[in-house]
Structure 1
Amino acid sequence: MRLAAALAALMLSACTYEAPPPAAASAAWRPAPIQGAREPSEVIAASTAADWRPVDPENLLIVDLADGGRVAIELAPDFAPVHVANIRAFARGGWWNGTTVYRVQDNYVAQWGNGEADTPLPQGVVRTPPAEYDRALAGLEVRPLGFPDSYAPVAGHSGGWPIGYDPDSGRAWLTHCYASVGVGRDTAPDTGTGGELYAVIGHSPRHLDLNIANVGRVIDGISVLSARPRGTGNLGFYDTERGEQPIPIARARIAADIPAAERPAYEAMRTDTPAFAAYVTGRANRGGSFFIRAAGGIDVCNAAVPVRRQAGQ
């Protein structure tokens, strides 16, 4: 009888639930599409040198896999300074040399490291970093995206990074988009040291925003991770008992430590220029011969900041 009563109450609550009126929900959804907006590729082609910034080699982590693949990661010290400093110390201490990418989970992440519990940390690593999941909005020059966001009061870009932010609380954070790089951690209060990292290889897992230290993004070579066979173990870990082999890492270095003649160099589009504004407008209002109907809106993760090799590379 108790079970029947509980089921009846559940059915009654389901029947009496009222969804928000569709008209009210859609009224503030997005502005009308802009017809004739320039295609993003046209904006990039017409950009000038002033529309781009060099990627600082001190903020560039180069991961070379044993099979010849290379992953270039731009680090974000303005958002996670202690974790980024740790990552530099890990790279300079040879932490990832000879380790593996041991987890590739479909539509989620590829993760690498060597297990923090069994290996002494390199000199200079902070064992218990603060929870660098957000930072003060003050001091950031922000370009609002101009469209609603499902995970933040406002979304936009700052310093070349996609961010969510809350003007009321005065806080801002990096968003988890495709190719974002975060710090693997245990349950709170553990924040992870930065010795175990992951890169997003699937749909943007924005639910991780404000829960994990987001420390950067893959700017070159994301396919080196995303095209790998998926692990069949729990959460995509490679199951060695089934013969699955983790992906060996030859070495990881900070680009500033690589001889200049061998050092890869990149530049990212600045997000505080009219060119970037035109790029976002074009991304939100695709036209040309293929798109029949312009969307008139865009998600912050679909407005990825363009990155390219510097001239001569």
Structure 2
Amino acid sequence: MTPYRTIHRILLLGACALLASTATAAASAAGKELPPKPSVSDIVKASKPADWRALDPDNTLYMEMPWGRVVIELSPVFAPNHVKNIKALVRNHYFDGLAIVRVQDNWVVQWGDPNDENDKARPVKGAHKTLKAEFTVPLANDKHFVRLPDVDGYAPQVGHSDGFPVGRDPKTGETWIAHCYGSVAVARDNDADSGGGTGLYAVIGPARHLDRNLTVVGRVISGMPELAALPRGPMPMGFYEKPEQQVPIKSVKVAADVPAAERSKFEVMRTETATFQAVVDAQRNRGGPFTKFSAGHIDLCAVPIPVREQP
């Protein structure tokens, strides 16, 4: 046997032994039970009153639907002009009697005026039909950012600010709410400044590539299971084909305009607390007995932001 063949055979046997050893180690690791760790539920149950904040009634919307109430928290920090305009629309009863006009599978639920594109469009009455886009705002607007150490593909930095998942870019000095499940944003046409809040949508699927392309104004606090379970529209982009398929909106009100006894009493965990960081870590590094491999990583949109309703 030539020296070349001898060396080649030794290398091949060595590689096979390494692969076998790696496979054995992987199989052993796969079967090894991870030690138990506190779950998100455990941490939430052990939380203290100071870990929670009540929703601001002046920046909370109640959208009354046939099945009940959808609660939306608005963020004037990240979209001040649009939030102001949306509240003006609501207080002028713009959305009352309108409808959910499209549900696109794994994408969005959108509501507004079904006649928005024709001469029967509802007037906005004292609000603005369109506004200059607020895809991002200056970093100085945000005083509550807590960074996630995990790498993100859509922003140089990600984290949470007062209960909202956000991205930011220190080089450009910009920040924005991310398109995570439940985020509420302003529908528009191709023109960046063609939206104003008369059409809104909630995210029900992966949509992070929309970040910095649309104005995000808040997120759904309660009611996402019902919104996400609505029948999908049969037309392109999930639009409903017939008026009777559209889901009617009974009314939309600012919570501050609703008698205190009729308000929903939701609280959101403060995302700047050590308790919330424990929630993030519990989701990032799950323990046994069910989990056999802990990822050691978490995506921004996979971080649970606990919400609870007080009696």
* TM > 0.5 fold call: yes
1:133 corresponds, among 117, 123, 135, to 135
2:164 corresponds, among 151, 161, 179, to 161
Aligned equivalent of 1:229: 231
SS at match of 2:166: strand
- Structure 1: distance between partners of 2:201 and 2:86: 13
Matches within 5 A, 1:89-238: 89-114=88-113, 115-116=115-116, 118-123=121-126, 125-138=127-140, 139-202=142-205, 204-238=206-240
How far apart are 1:191 and its partner, in Å? 3.9
Query: Normalising by structure 2, what TM-score?
Result: 0.84
CA displacement 1:279-298 (0-9 Å, x = unmatched):
10001011132111111000
How far apart are 1:140 and its partner, in Å? 2.4
Aligned equivalent of 1:249: 249
Amino acid at match of 2:275: A
SS at match of 2:251: strand
Q: Which has the higher helix share?
A: 2
- Structure 2: distance between partners of 1:42 and 1:88: 37
User: Is residue 302 of structure 1 aligned with residue 302 of structure 2?
Assistant: yes
Segment of structure 1 superposing worse, 108-117 or 282-291: 108-117
Aligned equivalent of 2:46: 46
How far apart are 1:128 and its partner, in Å? 3.4
* Contact 2:85–2:128, Cα closer than 8 Å, also in 1: yes
- Structure 2: distance between partners of 1:41 and 1:150: 28
Aligned equivalent of 1:84: 83
What is the count of residue pairs matched by the alignment?
A: 273
CA displacement 1:103-145 (0-9 Å, x = unmatched):
011001111111445222121x234322111111124232111
* Contact 1:152–1:164, Cα closer than 8 Å, also in 2: yes
Q: CA RMSD in A?
A: 1.6
SS at match of 2:73: strand
* Contact 1:267–1:308, Cα closer than 8 Å, also in 2: yes
- Structure 1: distance between partners of 2:285 and 2:107: 28
Amino acid at match of 1:220: S
Amino acid at match of 1:131: A
SS at match of 1:83: helix
Segment of structure 1 superposing worse, 152-161 or 112-121: 112-121
* Contact 1:39–1:288, Cα closer than 8 Å, also in 2: no
User: Is residue 239 of structure 1 aligned with residue 241 of structure 2?
Assistant: yes
Matches within 5 A, 1:22-41: 37-41=37-41
Aligned equivalent of 1:75: 74
- Structure 2: distance between partners of 1:300 and 1:162: 7
SS at match of 1:199: strand
- Structure 1: distance between partners of 2:194 and 2:165: 22
- Structure 2: distance between partners of 1:193 and 1:226: 24
User: Is residue 289 of structure 1 aligned with residue 255 of structure 2?
Assistant: no
Aligned equivalent of 2:21: none
Amino acid at match of 1:47: S
Query: Residues 127 and 248 from structure 1, CA distance in 2 versus in 1: closer, same or farther, beyond 3 angstroms?
Result: closer
- Structure 2: distance between partners of 1:195 and 1:128: 8
Sequence identity (%): 47
Amino acid at match of 1:140: K
CA displacement 1:141-183 (0-9 Å, x = unmatched):
3211110001001111112211111122221110000011110
* Contact 1:191–1:212, Cα closer than 8 Å, also in 2: no
What runs of 5+ residues in structure 1 fail to find an aligned partner?
1-33
SS at match of 2:262: coil
How far apart are 1:200 and its partner, in Å? 0.8
* Contact 1:110–1:200, Cα closer than 8 Å, also in 2: yes
Aligned equivalent of 1:6: none
CA displacement 1:50-70 (0-9 Å, x = unmatched):
1111110111111111x2332
How far apart are 1:35 and its partner, in Å? 6.4
Query: Normalising by structure 1, what TM-score?
Result: 0.83
What runs of 5+ residues in structure 2 fail to find an aligned partner?
1-33
Segment of structure 1 superposing worse, 184-193 or 55-64: 184-193
Aligned equivalent of 2:58: 58
SS at match of 2:101: strand
